[in-house]
Structures are given as C-alpha cells and as structure tokens.
Amino acid sequence: MTRTWLSLTRLCLATILAVAAAAATAHAQPSYPVRTVRIICDSAPGSTPDVVARVVADGLGRTWGRQVVVINHPGGSGAIAAHFAAEAAPDGYTLYIPALSAFVAQPGVTPGIPLELPRDFAPIGFATDNPMFISVNPALGLKTLQQLIALAKERPGKISNAVTGVGRLTHLTGELLQVKTGIKLLMVPYAAGPAHALADVIGGRVDMIIEGYSGIAAAIRSGSLNAIAVATPQRLPEFAELPTVAETIPGFTAAGWQIVVAPNGTPDAIIRAVSQDLAKVVSDPDVRHRLAQLGSYSHPMSPAEVTAFVEEQQRTWKPALQNIVTNAQ
C-alpha cells in the first residue's frame, strides 16, 4: 500500500513538473510577432506598389498589434530590393513585397532577375493586382480598341506609345498587344514614372499610354485622357461602361501584381501564420475599398497558389519578352 501511494505521489509530481515546464517554455517563447516587422518594397515612395505595400502593412499591423514598416529600395529593376530581402535573417521580421517585374523580366539583363519561386524566396500570399488601362489622347478621335488597332495597321510604326519603364508591365503590355494583333507601335520610353509620360500624351506629343489606374485617374476624370479598354477578364464594377481588352482580343489580360514572400529558411509556422493573416487583411471590406480606390484588387492565395500563379504569369509574358528581344536586334 505504501509503495503504491509513493508511486502515485511520484507520478503526480512528475505530471505537475511537466505541465509547469511546458507553461514556462510557452511563456519564454511568445507568439509571433513580438517586435517591429519590416516589409521591403522594390518601388519608390508614392508609387502604386508603395501605396499598396503601406495599406497591407497597416492591415497587418492592426491585426498583430505591432508596428509594421515599409522600407523602400527602388532601382535595378527590383534587384536592389531583392538583394536586401534575400540577405535578411529568415526569422519572419523581414518580409518582401516584390512587383511582377521582379519575376517577369528579360533573363541576363539584370543580375539576379527574374526571380523564381520557391528557389529564391518562400511564398506567403497575394497582395493585389493593378489592371492596365489603354488610353489615348482625345484628339485622335478614337473611342474603341478596335479603332486603335485599325489605325495602327494603317500607320505601322507611327502610333506612339508612352512606356513608363522599359521592361516593366506597362512596356510588356504594349508588346503583348502588338504580338496578339500584328500591329507595330512606336515606343517612347520614360524613366521617371507616369507623370512626364502622361503630360506628353495629354499635350498631344505622344498618342497613347498603357498604365495602372492610379497613375492616370485624374486625367481620365478630367477628360484630358480617353480610356478605351481595361485588361481585365471581366468589366470592372467601377468602370462598367469601359470594355475589356478581352472583348476584342479573347483571353488578353494584363495586370501588375504584388505578392508577399519571405527569405528562404523562414520557419514554416511563421509562413503559415502570416499567410493566414494576410488573407484576412486583404479580404477586409475597408481594405478592399481602399485598394479599389487605387485601381487595385485583392485575391487571397495560399503559398502553393502563389507559386502556381507566378509560374503561370511567367509563361503568359514570355512572348512579350521575346518580342522585346526581336525588336532590339
């Protein structure tokens, strides 16, 4: 009887000690995050990708009750930001929100670009996409994309297209448009975003521009720029009267997009947690409204879905990249 009582006492003590140890361990390892999280952005402050990154950072910060700050490293076609993000400690406290151009780029032009998933970074989730709008100077008298294509065929190489960033999506969309329709546009490149390019289109020095809505919204609202098509699969509720490019060129879509990734080696538990919280943030009605005002739209994705999406986008834009190479020869 005494031995049995002693055995039970020892078992109880062992159980109490085990529970206490587990509690102490849990207390010593508080849940992520416990300090400020950085999000590296590959675009300049004030640009659409930067503003989107800040909306996402604000949402995650409110969800976590921690500060989330955006760190801008523009330049090098995204290579500078990619370098900083890849060199960061894989502890979940540095995230990276690259734009499409970091993944869809001409190989061999910029070291380290294009990026590949999951080779270069651990995918987390999808932030937003920004559909491309095809717009023209009203003086051209064009109301539809069909009319633009017809005019470009009549005047091969004469219709000028303002390109805000060689190799970026605005450029690639114009190249894909030429591939799909057999037209030839005259590229007029700009290096400092849409402001200068837009001024030239409004002033009649350039005929057309392909750009995200936030860069041309004021010009469209004022009537100084005529939007003739948007490259979304279906018409946007906010622009119900604006036809899609796909209504003229079946299957044609073009949207800038941003995903969230982390340095390789980041713990899977943190990747899963951030992915789930990001999906909640971009699904929040207030966040969706703020993004829609920028012409941006959210589509929550799992890490596996992000990888599949990027691979599909790389296949989609391959013909446009090849067209750039051909035109340069």
Q: Residue 110 has what pLDDT?
A: 85
Residues 6+ apart with CB under 8 A from 270: 32, 91, 92, 262
Q: By the 8 A CB rule, do 189 and 160 touch?
A: no
Q: Is 188 left (phi over 0), alpha (psi -120 to 50) or beta?
A: beta
Give tens-digit pLDDT for 197-238.
Answer: 999 999 999 999 999 888 888 899 899 999 999 999 999 888
The mean pLDDT value for 186-198 works out to 86
Does residue 289 surpass a pLDDT of 70? yes
Predicted local distance difference test score (pLDDT) of residue 202 = 96
pLDDT of 24 over the 50 cut: no
Which pair of structure tokens corresponds to residue 125?
């989730």
Helix, strand, or coil (residue 20): helix
Residue 138 has pLDDT above 70, yes or no: yes
Alpha-carbon distances of 233 from 133, 137, 244, rounded to whole Å: 13, 25, 7
Mean pLDDT of 320-325: 83
Spatial distance between the Cα atoms of 8 and 312, rounded to a whole number of angstroms: 62
Q: Single out the residue of 32, 96, 1, 57 nearest to residue 287, CA to CA.
A: 57
Residue 118 · residue 307 · CB < 8 Å: yes
Residues 176-200 have a mean pLDDT of 90
What domains appear along the chain, each with residue ranges and CATH number?
37-129+256-325 (3.40.190.150), 131-254 (3.40.190.10)
CA distance 9 to 3: 10
Is the Cβ–Cβ distance between 314 and 105 less than 8 Å? no
SS (H, E, C) 135-164: EECHHHCCCCHHHHHHHHHHCCCCCEEEEE
| pTM: predicted TM-score of the whole model, two decimal places | 0.79
- Average pLDDT across the chain, whole number: 88
Q: Is the pLDDT of residue 328 over 80?
A: no
318-328 vs 303-316: helix crossing angle, rounded to 10: 40
Tens of pLDDT, residue by residue over 234-286, are 998 888 999 999 999 999 999 999 999 999 999 999 999 999 999 999 999 99
Taking residues 132-143, report their average pLDDT: 96
Q: What is the pLDDT of residues 37-65, one digit of tens each?
A: 999 999 888 777 888 999 999 999 999 99
Asked whether the beta carbons of 144 and 243 are under 8 A apart, the reply is: yes
